[in-house]
């Protein structure tokens, strides 16, 4: 993140700030979660996602939990990224 900010200051670039941007989980709630729900006909027992910025996990997880409180939401982080 620090390197991206440095590069943005030196070039014509933009740092989207996905870690802080509330649009990140919101767009996954509005689109990714809906696609999963529709494609599975609401038959979701668990959702597993890499942590990354957390946007996919929190956005999708929020919607799935609202629709099925028993759904398991699991965060995964590759060993090399820890």
Band the pLDDT of 82: cuts 50, 70, 90. Answer: low
Residue 76 lies in a domain: yes
* Structural domains of the chain, count: 1
Give the model confidence (pLDDT) of 7-66 as tens digits.
888 878 777 767 777 789 999 999 999 999 999 999 999 999 998 888 999 999 999 999
Residue 65 lies in a domain: yes
Residue 45 lies in a domain: yes
Q: Which pLDDT value is given to residue 4? A: 77
Residue 5 lies in a domain: no
Q: Which pLDDT value is given to residue 80? A: 79
Residue 44 burial (C-beta neighbours within 10 Å; 0-12, 13-18, 19+)? buried
- The backbone torsions φ and ψ at residue 50, rounded to the nearest 5 degrees and listed phi first, read -65, 145
Residue 11 lies in a domain: no
User: What is the model's pTM?
Assistant: 0.78
- CATH for 69: 3.40.50.1100
């Amino acid at each position: 993140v620090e390197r991206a900010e440095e590069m943005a200051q030196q070039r014509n670039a933009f740092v989207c700030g996905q870690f802080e941007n509330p649009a990140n989980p919101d767009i996954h709630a509005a689109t990714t979660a809906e696609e999963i729900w529709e494609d599975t006909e609401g038959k979701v027992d668990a959702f597993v996602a890499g942590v990354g910025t957390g946007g996919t996990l929190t956005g999708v997880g929020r919607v799935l939990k609202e629709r099925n409180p028993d759904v398991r939401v699991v965060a995964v982080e590759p060993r090399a990224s820890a």
